[in-house]
A and B are shown apart, each in its own frame.
Chain A
Amino acid sequence: MTTIEVRKPGLSTTVQDGGRSGYYHLGIPPSGALDQYSLACANALVGNPGDAAVLEIVYMGPELAFTGPATVAVAGATIAPKVNGDERPVWESFDVAEGDVLSFDYLKAGARAYLAVAGGIDVEEKLGSRSTYALGALGGVEGRPLTEGDVLPVGSGPAGRAGLVLPVGLRPALSKQVEVRVVMGLYDHRLTDRGRAAFLDTEWTLTPVADRIGFRYTGGQLETVDREPPFGAGQDPSNIVDSPYPIGSIQVPGGVEPIVLHRDAVSGGGYMMVATVLSGDLDVVAQSAPRTRTKFVEVDLDTALRLRAERKERLVRMHAALDG
C-alpha cells in the first residue's frame, strides 16, 4: 500500500471530502472541501468518485514523500506542483514514483488547491466522512491540520491515468474581483432601505480573517432599523435571539464587517444574518484570497435554482470531458 509522508505540512493542509450530513443540529457542520467543484475536478482527473477524500491546500503547499507509485492531480488555485523539484501542471494528472517528493510553487491565483490521489486519502471515516473539522477535533488526521511526520494511507481502487487534462473552458475563473450571488432574507428586515442598498452596492474587501469557518469583509457600515430589543436578544441593534446559521449565511455583527459562514460554520449564534450565498457560489468565496474585492449580487430563489441546475450540467460536462 502506498502511503504519503508529510515532510512539511504547508500553512493549513487538511483532509477533506464531500462533507458530512445530519449532525448540524448538534453543532457539527458539514465540513468538506470549501470549493466543491474543484474537489470534483481533482478527483475526476485521477479516476476517483467526485467526493473522495483529498488534501485541501491553503495559500502555501506541503512537502510530501510517496512510499510507492501513485497518480495524482491538483485542481483549484494556481499553485504548481513539483516532483523532485520539476514543475508539473495544475488541472492535469501525472504519476509519482516510489521515493518521489511532491512540493509546491508559490500561489499565483485563487486561494485553495485540491490534491487528489488515485484511490483517495484513506483516513478513517468519522460520522460518515473523512473531512477534518478542526474546531471539534473530528475527522481527517486526529481532527487537525497536517503536521510534519504524519503518514497518510492511500486507498486501493482503480489505478489513475496520467496525462488527463481538464479543458480550460471547464476550469473556474480565478479573479481578485468577484461577484457572489446571494438570496436576501433571514433578518434583512433589520436593515433600513439604506442599509440594504449599502450591502448590495458596496464593493467589499476580504480581510485576512478568512478560514474554513468564515470569511470577513470590510468596506462599509449597514444602517439598522431602531427597535426595542426583544427579550433574550441582547442590546446591540445587530443582536437576535441566538438562532441557527445556514451554511453560506452572511451575518453582520454591529452592522460592520459582514462574515460569510463557510462549511466549518459555527452552527448558530446571536448576530443578524441578512442574506445567504448560493451553495454553488461558496466555491467562489473559497477561492478568494485576502484583499479580493467582492460584490454581493441579489438573485431570487427561481434564479438561484436555475444557476444550481447550470452548475450540475457543468459537472456533467466536466465528467464527460475526463471519463471519455
Chain B
Amino acid sequence: MSELASESSTRGARYSWGGDEFVFVELAEEMSLQANFKAMAITGLLRSERPDGVLEICPANASYQVRYDPDVLEPHAFLAHLKELEDRVGDALGVTLDCRVVEIPVLYRDPWTTETLLRFRDRHQDPDATDIEYAARINGYGSVEEFIAVHSGSPWFTSMVGFVAGLPFKYQMVPRERQILVPKYLRPRTDTPKQTVGYGGCFSCIYSVRGAGGYQMFGITPAPIYDPTQTKPDFAEHMVFMRPGDIVRFRPIDRDEYDDLAAKADAGQFRITNRPVGFDLQPFLDDPDGYNKRLLEVLA
C-alpha cells in the first residue's frame, strides 16, 4: 500500500498514511478559505459520527488528520469512508459553519514584544527595522499606522488551532490580492512573550504561551487565551479559548486601556467579548467587504 503515499481522490485531495495510526489528507496545496471550509466540514461530519476507534480529529488550514486505532477500524475501509465524506461536502460552498465573532484587544508596538524583537535582530531580514515596520514596508504601506488600520480593519478566520496548546492561526478574510504576506524570521527566536500577536506567511496568530517562535511580532493582547489551571472565568469549561471557526476582530487599544484590561485579567475579571454567528462561504465570496461588515455588527 505504499503506493497510497500520494493517492489523490477525484476531487483532488491527497490521502496519505501517517504511520500505523494516522491518516493525513491534504485538501489543497494552496491556502484558501474554501479549502479550510472543506477541512472543517469533513472533520465536523466525522466528529458527529463518533465512530469507534477514532482518537483524534484535527482540522487544519488546508488539510486535516485523523488518529485512529487500526485494531478497531480497518485502515482501507476507514480511508474509503473519509473519501465518501469528502464527496458529501463537495465544494463546501453550501456549508454553514456555526462560528463565534470574537473581539481581541491589541496593544500594537508594545514594550514587551519590542524588547524581545530587539534581542533577535541577528535572525531577522531587516535588522534596522522593527517587525511591524518591516511588514508595513514590504506590503507597500506608507506608515505603520496605515498597516495597523488594515490589520485591525478586517476580520480573521481561525483556520487552525495548534502548534502549542491553544494557539490560533488566523486567515485574513479579504480577497487574496489584498492579503498581508510576511516571511517568518530567518531563524526562529527562542523567546516570544505570552499573548503576542504574530504574523507569518499569510497567517496572523496569537501565541498562547511563552516560548520559541518564528512569526513576526506586531503587538500583544491582554486577553488570556489559554489557562491550564482553569481558574479564569472564560476557562471554566475548557482550558483553551480559541476554536477553529472563530472569527476574530483585532481592536487596537492604547497603553492605558491595556494596563486596565491586563489588571482585570490578572484579577480574573476579564471576559473576551464574543457572539455566536452562522457563516456561509458563498455569500462571503460574492461580497467579502459587505459580508464582513454585517459579521462585525454583531459585536456592536
Q: Which residues of A contact B (CB under 8 A)?
A: 21-22, 24-28, 126-127, 133, 135-138, 143, 182-186, 188-189, 230-235, 239, 241-244, 246-249, 266-270, 273, 276-280, 298, 300-302, 304-305, 307-308, 312
Contact = CB atoms under 8 A, between A and B. Distances in A.
A234 B211 contact: no
B209 A232 contact: no
A266 B167 CA distance: 11
Contact of A234 (B163, B176, B183): B183
A308 B166 contact: no
Contact of B17 (A24, A127, A185, A280): A185
Given A230-B29, A232-B203, A266-B164, A241 B61 contact: yes
Given A183-B17, A278-B20, A25 B5 contact: no
Interface string B204-217: 00001101000000
List of 6 A-B pairs having minimum Cβ-Cβ separation, nearest first: A232-B31, A246-B18, A276-B19, A136-B165, A267-B162, A185-B16
A127 B21 CA distance: 21
State the main secondary structure of chain A at its contact with B: mixed
Contacts of A304: 19-20
A231 B35 CA distance: 12
A276 B166 contact: no
A239 to B, nearest CB: 8
A241 B63 contact: yes
Nearest to A243: B63
A188 B4 CA distance: 12
B282 interface: no
B300 interface: no
A183 B2 contact: yes
Interface in B160-210: 160-167, 169, 176, 183-184, 200-203, 208-209
B62 to A, nearest CB: 5
A262 to B, nearest CB: 13
A36 B208 CA distance: 29
B161 A305 contact: no
Contacts of B239: 127, 138
Given A126-B228, A249-B18, A304-B19, A189 B5 contact: yes
A120 B20 CA distance: 29
Contacts of B21: 246-248, 279
B56 A24 contact: yes
20 contacts: A25-B56, A26-B166, A28-B166, A28-B240, A135-B165, A135-B209, A138-B165, A143-B228, A182-B19, A186-B18, A188-B5, A230-B29, A230-B30, A246-B24, A248-B19, A273-B18, A276-B19, A280-B20, A301-B2, A301-B75
A231 B244 contact: no
Interface in B130-179: 160-167, 169, 176
A24 B58 contact: yes
Given A244-B58, A248-B19, 11 more contacts: A26-B162, A28-B240, A136-B164, A230-B30, A232-B203, A241-B29, A246-B21, A267-B58, A268-B58, A276-B19, A279-B20
B22 interface: yes
Nearest to B47: A25
Contacts of A241: 29-31, 61-63, 201
Contacts of A22: 55-56
Nearest to B165: A136
A246 B19 contact: yes
Contact of A21 (B55, B162, B211): B55
B65 interface: yes
Contacts of B30: 230-233, 241
